């Protein structure tokens, strides 16, 4: 361990807040290896990590929120058509689009893991190959999912939804088929850019597309009166705008000149190890995303399905809005952890985990208070139906609890993605959500008088158990071993050694 004299330049840097941004991760790693670190240095270390975290998370949150707001705004316009059309659009958005959303996002988390660790390890040229490999696998998944979208009506009826709701849901789902392919390309694009800390351009593009989408949806739904199908096709079009703008940036930006070296057949070499990580990633996030969406689906089986679906869908939309904020923070945490593990800095990676979790808990307390204070006003944005407004107001205490838990759970999942623990977390999600939470939701929702509230209680219990499990898992992590795991993952999933040999030959 070094003496105070050895660390004098660092100590001076920590004393001078203006010099904190100049400190490198390598220097902070060396300093954290002192045991113990004096208490007076922790506020300065937190300031150093918080700066890096918010540079990433500020824009990542904007990207996540505004991309989600594309669907959010679409459902708001659908809700003012009629309660039936809102129920149909909601059930298609949750049961059909949500299924694809879970698969695509889950697969994309593998890009987040491997590209983030490759960037930290300075294997820059491998990142473009990983992105291309991911797009190939995503498009393959999109082809298979197309059948689900096209035959969504009979599927929804088979799941117990009413004929009228399923009919409206099928209209909406078929209009989203083009969006499926845009999403398959955009997910790897975004993770590729985020892994190399390129987040501000992503935010600008997302905000711009959102503004265009809002105007177009208003014109299509109200001015030319194309209804549900028009709203869905407009949503699909907006996602293609994201693909085009992100793609142009990757091709022409000097920031990507080392990581994107053009299209290459190398993307098809060594695809199996990466595919295995992709499958684990997809299962992990699918089990997580489908859990809340499955609860919305079973709420359609209650005695008054229209009111039940509308109320839980409105609450779920606000929960998802909060989730998008936290997913932006989680994406930043994932990038920070994966970059530091790839660079061989276990102490900094561990410190980053503590800082991001403390930050997210404080934010969630504020969001929970907002939900409780404005519970009636929030429901009126979606509907003018008094019964639905009352039902939503009755659910807001449970919504506030869920919002608070969302301040911890997504962040820990982001850490898991950055560390490459997808397979382990998949088992955790299966146990907590489907073996425990879902049966409780069904019993409370259908065997008691609690109804929708009982279904939501089941969700809360499952999320709470999963959160506690991830806390234990993170607390017991050997971060030095995770550095070795990251190096091995790059050798297999990213096929880095082979790519570097090819570059040397060239």
* CB 310 within 8 Å of CB 386: no
pLDDT value of position 303: 67
CA distance to 290, 292, 429, per residue, from 438 (Å): 11, 9, 11
Q: 116-146: string of b/e by CB count within 10 Å (b at 16+)? A: bbbbbbebbbbbbbbbbbbbebbeebbeebe
**Alpha-carbon span 31 to 48, nearest angstrom:** 13
**Alpha-carbon span 399 to 373, nearest angstrom:** 12
Nearest to 179 by CA among 96, 300, 268: 96
pLDDT value of position 491: 67
HEC readout, 176-235: CHHHHHHHHHHHHHHHHHHHCCCCHHHHHHHHHHHHHHHHHHHHHHHHCCCHHHHHHHHH
Q: For 136-176, how does the pLDDT look when each residue is reduced to its tens digit (9 = 90+)?
A: 889 998 999 999 899 888 888 887 777 888 888 888 889 89
**Alpha-carbon span 180 to 168, nearest angstrom:** 19
Q: Please give the torsion angle defined by the CA atoms of residues 199, 201, 207 and 208, in that order, rounded to the nearest 10 degrees.
A: -160
Model confidence at 442, in pLDDT bands (50, 70, 90)?
A: confident
Q: Is the pLDDT of residue 214 over 90?
A: yes
* Stated pTM of the model: 0.74
Q: For 310-365, how does the pLDDT look when each residue is reduced to its tens digit (9 = 90+)?
A: 777 777 777 777 777 787 787 788 788 878 887 788 888 888 888 888 888 888 88
pLDDT value of position 293: 66
Neighbouring CB atoms inside 10 A of 352's CB total 25
Nearest to 417 by CA among 186, 105, 190: 105
Model confidence at 505, in pLDDT bands (50, 70, 90)?
A: very low
CA distance to 327, 345, 376, 462, 464, per residue, from 98 (Å): 16, 36, 26, 19, 22
HEC readout, 385-446: CHHHHHHHHHHHHHHHHHHHHCCCHHHHHHHHHHHCCHHHHHHHHHHHHHHHHHHHHHHHHH
Nearest to 287 by CA among 432, 78, 439, 408: 432
Q: Is the pLDDT of residue 380 over 60?
A: yes
CA distance to 103, 150, 275, 280, 299, per residue, from 97 (Å): 10, 11, 23, 21, 17
**Alpha-carbon span 478 to 482, nearest angstrom:** 6
- What's the CA angle centered on 249, arms 247 and 250, to 5 degrees? 65
Q: Is the pLDDT of residue 506 over 70?
A: no
Structure tokens of 281? 């990633």
Q: 50-83: string of b/e by CB count within 10 Å (b at 16+)? A: bebbeebbebbbbbbbbbbbbbbbbbbbbbebeb
DSSP string, 30-43: HHHTSSSPPGGGHH
Mean pLDDT of the chain: 79
Q: For 66-89, how does the pLDDT look when each residue is reduced to its tens digit (9 = 90+)?
A: 988 898 888 888 877 777 787 788
* CB 127 within 8 Å of CB 174: no
**Alpha-carbon span 345 to 163, nearest angstrom:** 56
């Amino acid at each position: 361990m070094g003496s105070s004299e050895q660390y004098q330049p660092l100590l001076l840097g920590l004393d001078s807040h203006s010099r904190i941004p100049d400190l490198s991760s390598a220097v902070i790693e060396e300093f954290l290896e002192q045991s113990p670190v004096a208490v007076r240095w922790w506020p300065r270390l937190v300031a150093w990590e918080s700066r890096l975290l918010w540079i990433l998370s500020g824009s990542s949150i904007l990207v996540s929120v505004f991309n989600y707001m594309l669907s959010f705004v679409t459902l708001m316009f659908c809700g003012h058509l009629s309660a039936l059309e809102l129920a149909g659009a909601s059930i298609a958005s949750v049961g059909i689009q949500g299924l694809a959303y879970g698969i695509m996002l889950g697969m994309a988390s593998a890009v987040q893991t491997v590209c983030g660790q490759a960037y930290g390890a300075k294997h820059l040229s491998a990142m473009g190959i990983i992105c291309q490999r991911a797009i190939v696998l995503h498009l393959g998944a999109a082809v298979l999912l197309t059948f689900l979208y096209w035959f969504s009506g009979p599927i929804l009826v088979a799941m117990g939804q009413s004929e009228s709701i399923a009919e409206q849901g099928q209209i909406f789902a078929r209009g989203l088929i083009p969006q499926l392919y845009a999403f398959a390309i955009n997910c790897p694009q975004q993770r590729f850019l985020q892994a190399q800390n390129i987040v501000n351009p992503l935010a600008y593009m997302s905000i711009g597309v959102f503004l265009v989408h809002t105007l177009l949806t208003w014109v299509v739904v109200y001015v030319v009166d194309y209804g549900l199908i028009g709203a869905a096709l407009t949503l699909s079009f907006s996602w293609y705008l994201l693909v085009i703008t992100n793609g142009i940036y990757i091709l022409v930006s000097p920031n990507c000149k080392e990581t994107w070296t053009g299209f290459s057949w190398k993307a098809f070499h060594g695809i199996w190890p990466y595919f295995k990580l992709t499958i684990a990633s997809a299962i992990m996030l699918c089990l997580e995303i489908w859990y809340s969406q499955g609860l919305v689906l079973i709420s359609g089986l209650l005695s008054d399905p229209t009111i039940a679906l509308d109320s839980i869908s409105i609450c779920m939309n606000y929960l998802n809005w909060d989730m998008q904020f936290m997913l932006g923070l989680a994406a930043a945490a994932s990038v920070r952890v994966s970059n530091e593990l790839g660079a061989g800095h276990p102490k900094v990676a561990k410190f980053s985990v503590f800082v991001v979790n403390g930050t997210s808990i404080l934010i969630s307390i504020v969001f929970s208070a907002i939900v409780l204070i404005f519970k009636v006003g929030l429901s009126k944005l979606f509907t003018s139906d008094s019964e639905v407004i009352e039902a939503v107001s009755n659910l807001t205490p449970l919504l506030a609890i869920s919002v608070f838990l969302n301040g911890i759970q997504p962040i820990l999942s982001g850490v898991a993605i950055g560390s490459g623990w997808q397979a382990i977390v998949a088992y955790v999600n299966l146990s907590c959500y489907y073996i425990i939470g879902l049966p409780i939701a069904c019993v409370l929702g259908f065997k008691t008088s609690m109804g929708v509230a009982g279904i939501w209680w089941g969700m809360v219990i499952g999320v709470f158990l999963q959160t506690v499990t991830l806390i234990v898992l993170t607390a017991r992590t050997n971060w030095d071993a995770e550095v070795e795991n990251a190096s091995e993952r790059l050798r297999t999933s990213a096929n880095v050694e082979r790519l570097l040999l090819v570059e040397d030959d060239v």
